[in-house]
Amino acid sequence: MKSRGSRLASIGVWALGACVAAAGFAAWPAALAPPEERYASPLELLLSPNGTRLYVLCQGTGEVRVLNAATGRVLSTIPVGREPRGFSFSPGGARLFVVNSWDDTVTVIDTENNRAVATWKTGYEPSSVVEDRAGKLVYIADRIGNDVAVLNAATGAEEATLPAGRGASYLTLAADGSKLYATHIYPNPTPHRTPPRSEITVIDPAHARVIERLPLPSIAGVFHAAVSRDGRLGVVAELHPKNLVPMAHVEHGGVLGNTLTVFGPDVGRTVEVPLDEMDRYYALPFGVAIALDKSRIYVTHAGADCVTVVDTRRLIAWIRAHPEPFAEDLSASGHYVVARITVGKNPRGLVLSRDGSRLYVANRLDDTISVIDTRAARVVQTIRLAGPAKVSALRRGEQTFYTAKYAFQGQFGCSSCHIDSTFDGLQWDLEPDGFGKDIVDNRLLEDLRGTEPFKWNGGNPSIAVECGPRTEKYFWRSQTFDDRTLTDLVLYIRHLPLRPNRWLAANGELSPAQERGRAIFNRSVDKLGQPIPDHNRCAYCHSGSKGTSQKSFDVGTGKATDNSSVFDTPQLMNIALTAPYLHDGSAETLEEIWTVYNPHDQHGRTNDLTKDELNDLIEYLRTR
């Protein structure tokens, strides 16, 4: 085991290396932007055990701000790592753990003096953290790792990694500490063109074992979970995509549902219930909290700028009185939703005061905290966090990206499918191509400059076209962007940065396998000594620093349902993250691109390769 000193030193070197690697990025992450442009972007909230201090996780500035919970006055500011995404207290509140998703680290803060006392290395893109009740183990959900890492609470040494759902991101510990619930934002792999599947991973935190996986059928995109104090009722916020049918029925709610799944002894099973209404949708349910007396469930809607209040008693009564399924019964929510409280822009994390009289909500995109009187069900105070006075064009673009207000009845926004500005792991049947035609895999939005044109058929020459007329025509069905809004949105999307590549060493050096793979990628002669035609070389189509020639080719992957078998060459950056592959997502893994879908060497000359050589090629691709 490394000493703390050497561990910190290695982290320092690693971070420096990551910065060097980042030099080629299209944009710096928010936390590294010039100070005058750094918005706090509050993402998650905690109250100190005595309820007097409000801890605010500021994703944009990379810090934790400690506020007087009553007045909102800043008591302390604690710098943490890049793109912090989750935090939690140790059982007694003596330590605060913060996970830094771009650094793959945990910052350990002594809450007595509000200073960082340790930095631990963890898995790929840590997004949530919880310590067990015994104070022995720290659990961390790793979004890219698709796992829950188990760290020794005293040393930070990793003891195990538990396989979780794909895109593991949020952890919730039962009040008695007996169970830990993990949720994930991307669906688990399923056969092509079958309904998505997700899960609630239930962990025994005392023994670091997965004891159950509660199935979430037809769900893709699961966010926070909450469990009642008595442990008898659990709830998760989630998305219910309808991606197997043509996106032709926006007016009938045929694109995305915004739902909860409730579980636990109070309901006896897992039950999905809608949050939307007949003529109004509440996009991107994100944070959830259950009142101490279990009378209410509170849900933030990151795309609808509001908090939904559910009457728990009515909800359970309704569930018991109606046979399933009713996830798509938009009349249902009227029976148990008792309030919709408007808050700030892009509300995310929320926390209830100890007595349950106040609900604090972090509004990520306007740097405010809404304080809700839970009895009156209205905002009684808005705490403004320090930051730039001016709302920049970039910031306005981000607000546009996350709101669902432009879509018909507020059904969805850009971020409903590009979750946290990435992708959703799904394939969609977009209407204009014809019903059942041109099924397309959703692509990652990172470092897009220089990857034009867009769409799999290469039909859109720029982001402005992609997000302008195209979007207005058949996505929103309603309000269009004005020129400034579109310009801001394009600016934001063009500046979405490339996250650090976890498979490339900090110093940029390739491993022997990656080096062998690079040689295969760049080769011009096959193993039989025959020249490989230009168009059949990996590096010809996937050329340049981003791995795309920006041209379209027929690589033999067209299907009978495709209008054309000529496809845009996708960029390769962070390709390891974006399974499934090919234009329609038919290749479950990178391997299948060549083991299944390249029988005639049209997608590069690969059939002369042995299995280990193919593995080498993939190892190299994952460094791109």
Partner 1 sequence: MTKSVCIAVLLLAGTLSGQRTSHSTQAPHAVRGTASAPSVAALPRYRFENFTTANGLPDDHVFSVLVDGPRVWAGTENGLAEYENGQWKTFTTADGLAHRAVLSLALDSRTGDVWAGTMGGLSRISGGRIDTYTQLNSGLSSDVVYGVSVEGENVWIATAAGACRLNTRTGEWSLYTERNTPMEEIWAYGVSAAADKVYYAIWGSGLLEYNQKTRVWDKYDDPDGENEIVLLKDQGLIHEIVTSVSYVDGVVWAATYFGASHYDGRYWRNFLTKDSGLPSNFLNFVKGVDRNRAWFCTDKGLAYYDGINWAVYRPDLDTGKPEMTVRDAQGRVTVIPVTTAPAHNYILAVALAGSDIWVATAKGLSHGIYQP
Which backbone phi and psi does 32 adopt, to 5 degrees?
Answer: -105, 5
Strands 180-184 and 168-173: antiparallel
Q: Does 589 bind partner 1 (CB under 8 A)?
A: yes
* Binds partner 1 by CB under 8 A, chosen from 30, 162, 185, 239: 162
Cα–Cα distance for residue pair 542/538, rounded to 1 Å: 6
Residues in the chain: 624
Residue 331 · residue 315 · CB < 8 Å: no
Q: Does 268 bind partner 1 (CB under 8 A)?
A: no
Which class for 435: exposed (0-12), middle (13-18), buried (19 or more C-beta within 10 A)? exposed
> Residue 261 CB, nearest distance to partner 1 (Å)?
17
- Cα–Cα nearest to 397, from 522, 509, 488: 488
Q: Which is nearer to partner 1, 397 or 580 (CB)?
A: 580
DSSP 8-state assignment for residue 432 = G
Q: Does 611 bind partner 1 (CB under 8 A)?
A: yes
Q: Does 211 bind partner 1 (CB under 8 A)?
A: yes
Q: Does 14 bind partner 1 (CB under 8 A)?
A: no
For the chain, the first-to-last Cα distance in angstroms comes to 31
> Residue 599 CB, nearest distance to partner 1 (Å)?
12
Cα–Cα distance for residue pair 489/191, rounded to 1 Å: 34
Q: Which is nearer to partner 1, 202 or 284 (CB)?
A: 202
Q: How many CB atoms lie within 10 A of CB 378?
A: 12
* Binds partner 1 by CB under 8 A, chosen from 52, 484, 596, 599: 596
Q: Does 167 bind partner 1 (CB under 8 A)?
A: no
- Cα–Cα nearest to 379, from 425, 431, 435, 340: 340
* Binds partner 1 by CB under 8 A, chosen from 235, 619, 620, 624: 619
Q: Does 591 bind partner 1 (CB under 8 A)?
A: yes
Q: Tell me the window of 345-353, 390-398, 543-551, 614-622 that interacts with partner 1 (CB under 8 A).
A: 614-622
Q: Which is nearer to partner 1, 75 or 210 (CB)?
A: 210
Q: Does 163 bind partner 1 (CB under 8 A)?
A: yes
**x/- track of binding to partner 1 for residues 126-155 (CB under 8 A):** -------------------x----x-----
> Residue 611 CB, nearest distance to partner 1 (Å)?
5
Take residue 245 and report the two structure tokens written for it. 């049918």
Take residue 233 and report the two structure tokens written for it. 């009722």
Q: Tell me the window of 106-114, 196-204, 411-419, 448-456 that interacts with partner 1 (CB under 8 A).
A: 196-204
* Binds partner 1 by CB under 8 A, chosen from 10, 71, 94, 212: 212
Q: Does 588 bind partner 1 (CB under 8 A)?
A: yes
Take residue 579 and report the two structure tokens written for it. 């399974």
Cα–Cα distance for residue pair 189/167, rounded to 1 Å: 11
Q: Does 503 bind partner 1 (CB under 8 A)?
A: yes
Which backbone phi and psi does 527 adopt, to 5 degrees?
Answer: -70, -15
Q: Looking up tokens 């808050």, which residue turns up?
A: 343
Strands 115-121 and 53-58: unpaired
Residue type, 508: G
Q: By CB under 8 A, how many residues form the interface with partner 1?
A: 36
Residues 522-581 that bind partner 1 (CB under 8 A): 576
Q: Looking up tokens 């056969």, which residue turns up?
A: 191
> Residue 542 CB, nearest distance to partner 1 (Å)?
20
> Residue 540 CB, nearest distance to partner 1 (Å)?
25
Q: Which is nearer to partner 1, 358 or 622 (CB)?
A: 622
Q: Which is nearer to partner 1, 481 or 503 (CB)?
A: 503
Q: Does 190 bind partner 1 (CB under 8 A)?
A: no
* Binds partner 1 by CB under 8 A, chosen from 129, 208, 260, 362: 208
- Cα–Cα nearest to 311, from 332, 325, 328: 332
* Binds partner 1 by CB under 8 A, chosen from 36, 159, 176, 534: 159
Residue type, 372: I
Three-class DSSP category at 341: strand
Q: Does 199 bind partner 1 (CB under 8 A)?
A: yes
Residue 90 · residue 99 · CB < 8 Å: no
State the residues that interact with partner 1 by CB under 8 A: 123, 145, 150, 159-163, 188, 199, 201-202, 207-213, 502-503, 513, 576, 588-589, 591-592, 595-596, 611-612, 614-615, 618-619, 622
